């Protein structure tokens, strides 16, 4: 059976056409190289010898590679966002989850959150501000997104063995999209997450920190008027604990110069994951 094998050398990927055969003496499968094809990104189906081009494994490889071409991926992303928006307007989070599962098989869950869902939530907000959708439709969309995120969290089966993260918002915050997205991403990467509900008193947040002993605390601030409340909460936490605190959310982006920590400003989910998975937690400064 012929198939393609990728070999990485100094961050460069090279492609080989190999053939598997059975060694009856050693009673094991062996692979032999039929042809070196070159740098992976430069290889096309026409580079494969004709007598191997009909191999199902080889055809599947090049079909999958097609999905990762920027133009193709962009087209798929735009269509998915359009289909998801339709599902959200119809309050059909089950269909939305089905669309998620199809996309996830090719691009992964992280790509769905970063490249599809978060931009779509921002688009829904923009459509509402510009009066292109009415308040009722916007609310229906938000509720469907919330239901989708809850379904994702309920269905998470990844073993939780990494960091412990506590997520909270200052008293008065009601928006939970950002924290739900972050929670689902952290859980899907094997982290333990304590996502406290809105309007949780600071005293209860302190109790949760004492009881759960998280490695990191993430505070999300959506509304500018809750910034002072967040800073007071951070001060109370810092008075008792030395746990690294990361601050994020729209309010931080709007007033980034008012925060003396650069860690939480415009921090993408991908960067946040890399940050908390680092063993060098001392690089994170509390605000």
pLDDT at 205 over 70: yes
HEC string for the chain: CEEEEEEEECCEEEEEEEEEEEECCCCEEEEEEEEEEEEHHHCCHHHCCHHHCCCHHHHHHHHHHHHCCHHHHHHHHHHHHHHHHHHHHCCCHHHHHHHHHHHHHHHCHHHHHHHHHHHHHHHHHHHHHCCCCCHHHHHHHHHHHHHHHHHHHHCCCCCCCCCEEEEECCCCCCCCHHHHHHHHHHHHCCCEEEECCCCCCHHHHHHHHHHHCCCEEEEECCCHHHHHHHHHHHHHHHHHCCCCEEEECHHHHHCHHHCCCCCCCCCCHHHHHHHHHCCCHHHCCCC
Q: Which of 139-143, 152-156, 218-222 has maximum average pLDDT?
A: 139-143
pLDDT, one tens digit per residue, over 161-202 is 778 999 999 988 887 778 888 888 888 888 899 999 888 999
pLDDT in tens, 35-86: 888 888 778 777 888 888 777 788 778 777 777 777 888 888 999 999 999 9
Please determine, for residue 261, whether its predicted confidence score (pLDDT) is greater than 80.
Answer: no
């Amino acid at each position: 059976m012929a198939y393609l094998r990728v070999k990485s050398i100094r961050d460069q990927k090279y492609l080989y056409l190999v053939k598997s055969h059975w060694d009856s003496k050693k009673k094991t499968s062996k692979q032999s190289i039929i042809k070196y094809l070159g740098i992976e990104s430069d290889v096309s189906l026409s580079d494969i010898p004709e007598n191997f081009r009909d191999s199902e494994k080889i055809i599947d490889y090049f079909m999958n590679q097609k999905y990762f071409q920027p133009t193709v991926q962009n087209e798929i992303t735009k269509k998915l966002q359009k289909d998801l928006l339709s599902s959200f307007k119809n309050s059909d989070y089950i269909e939305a989850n089905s669309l998620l599962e199809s996309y996830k098989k090719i691009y992964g869950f992280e790509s769905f959150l970063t490249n599809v869902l978060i931009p779509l939530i921002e688009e829904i907000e923009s459509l509402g501000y510009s009066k292109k959708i009415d308040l009722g439709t916007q609310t229906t969309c938000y509720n469907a997104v919330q239901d989708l995120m809850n379904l994702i969290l309920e269905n998470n089966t990844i073993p939780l063995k990494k960091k412990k993260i506590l997520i909270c918002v200052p008293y008065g915050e009601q928006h939970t999209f950002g924290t739900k997205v972050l929670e689902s991403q952290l859980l899907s990467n094997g982290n333990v997450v304590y996502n406290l509900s809105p309007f949780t008193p600071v005293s209860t947040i302190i109790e949760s920190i004492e009881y759960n002993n998280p490695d990191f605390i993430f505070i999300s601030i959506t509304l500018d008027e809750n910034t002072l409340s967040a800073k007071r909460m951070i001060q109370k936490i810092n008075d008792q604990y030395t746990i690294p605190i990361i601050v994020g959310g729209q309010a931080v982006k709007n007033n980034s110069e008012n925060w003396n920590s650069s860690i939480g400003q415009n921090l993408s989910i991908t960067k946040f994951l890399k940050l908390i998975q680092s063993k060098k937690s001392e690089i994170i400064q509390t605000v």
